[in-house]
Structure 1
């Protein structure tokens, strides 16, 4: 078993404070890949001077993401968003922005209607939701400060839980599929 920590970060972004949520998770636990993605994302937005990490490294694509998602990412990566870059994105796909603040109020949970285990039958996807505030340091109206929600579709692949899609909120409050965006980029 691997011990993962998911942190609710302080507004200052320089200290890990607030509530630390500690959970013991196994490779087949659908929370495990989401917890790692959110740990990396929170670290990338932290105001502690640490070097940002690439979320979609080859190692992470093979370990955290489904074969289908990884294939779509690799096809889209042939069209980097920035000259000399390797990513097909010019923004953080989890935060769904280019600008933001250290993440606060981070929580990760299986939705009540997320299908898992015997009740869903084998192979049914599980929905995991991450919620956070990425605009707490902005001095703007309260609607800009609203929490963000990211939905992760988790599937079982070869006995381990992997991310098959990521859906983020768009301006019109609909959720957009990252796999669909990757397909659009790859068709260039």
Structure 2
């Protein structure tokens, strides 16, 4: 019994000195919440749209830098006419239309340089008849960091046009804020 207690104490001590291990476990939490809200938004029910960048969510699930860039982009006159978002599309599904999300998976990579990449994959066009890639997966990469002791989303990487690499949402917000 004493050996087990010593082993457990050693394991707890080792984990407390390996912060990267705890980040990887917690990194999925903010992404899971954003994806849950995105699923609800596209579920086809007549419920209110959940703003994944609403002030409370923005300050709780996103880094300060991300939040500052979002607020600056939202001040641009090119912001969406409804006043909700500086984007005229859903940045998670990377479009203005989607079906109920199918086959959602969320996976966390290994922490590197203070960032953990969390990948969400899902099918967003399965109900769109005649769409050539209706069963294709959409992949969204979230860069998650630890800030003030909790995991927060620092950037969202969405797929660009065919032949382009991923687009940083933070970079896009800087461009919107600059009127580009």
Higher helix residue share = 2
Distance 1:169 1:140 in 2: 22
The runs of 5 or more residues in structure 1 that have no matched partner are 1-24
* Residues 67-86 of structure 1: pairs in structure 2 closer than 5 A: 67-79=64-76, 81-86=79-84
RMSD: 1.9
Matched, 1:57 2:47: no
Distance 2:71 2:85 in 1: 9
Residues 73, 79 of structure 2: 8 Å contact kept: no
The runs of 5 or more residues in structure 2 that have no matched partner are 1-21
* Residues 1-188 of structure 1: pairs in structure 2 closer than 5 A: 29-79=26-76, 81-110=79-108, 114-116=109-111, 120=112, 124-173=114-163, 174-188=165-179
Q: Give 2:3's aligned residue.
A: none
Deviation at 1:145, TM superposition (A): 2.8
How many residues align? The count is: 155
Give me the TM-score of the superposition, normalised by structure 2.
Answer: 0.80
Distance 2:173 2:136 in 1: 27
- Output one character per residue of 1:72-101: Cα deviation in whole Å (capped at 9) or x when no partner: 000000025333413101100000000111
Give me the TM-score of the superposition, normalised by structure 1.
Answer: 0.77
| Structure showing greater Rg | 2
**Moved >4 Å (runs of 4+):** none
Higher strand residue share = 1
Residues 124, 134 of structure 2: 8 Å contact kept: no
Deviation at 1:46, TM superposition (A): 0.5
Structure 2 counterpart SS, 1:62: helix
Residues 138, 145 of structure 1: 8 Å contact kept: no
Deviation at 1:155, TM superposition (A): 0.3
Residues 154, 164 of structure 1: 8 Å contact kept: yes
